[in-house]
Amino acid sequence: MADKPQAAAEPEKPKSKKMLIIIVAVVLLVVLIGGGAAFFLLKKKDTDEEAGGDKPAPAVVHKKPDPKAPPTYLPMDNMVVNLADPGGGRFAQVGITLKLDDAKTADTVKAFMPSIRNAVLLEISKRTSDELLAIEGKESLTRAIIREVSAQLGYEVEDEDADDGKPTKKRRVALPPSPVQAVLFSSFIVQ
């Protein structure tokens, strides 16, 4: 009789090992499926948040400029613009070079160049010759051109309020700061 209990105990060991392996496999499978589902749901949430702005995100992923890397300079064609002087007989010839974060940003600016050029021409044509001859007028024009270029690229811009001189937000778009670092004048003739 002593042989029967030992024989009965031996078949139970392989069953318990099989059962343990099955349980571990099922738990592992549930964890993998849960992790994959969480990954896809979080990825979809991030995509939805990015698409929630007024304008689509720019084609270039904007990153902070590398202080060791030199900026990229993008010259624009010279522009001849009638000024807003009374009588309309005054005009300005302006050569502009944009200082940008990197070469990828320059490619994006080139893609938007017709609308950027139009916005800059309109901005210059709002000015009078007296404004453009003064240093403050040139500095104001520089800030306005940066705002116009940034707006054309879909970046958040500030609009100067003429009454109090404080900048106010023109658009509420969750984008990084503009990649346009400066506007440099290569020529500036007012006649």
Task: Give the pLDDT band of residue 182 (cuts 50, 70, 90).
Answer: very high
pLDDT, tens digit, 9 for 90 and up, residues 57-100: 444 444 555 667 788 999 999 999 999 998 878 999 999 999 99
Distance (Å, rounded) from C-alpha 38 to C-alpha 175? 26
pLDDT, tens digit, 9 for 90 and up, residues 20-29: 888 888 888 8
* DSSP per residue, 6-56: HHHHHHHHHHHHHHHHHHHHHHHHHHHHHHHHHHHHHHHHHHHHHTTSSSP
Q: What is the pTM of this model?
A: 0.58
The arithmetic mean of pLDDT across residues 105-133, rounded, is 93
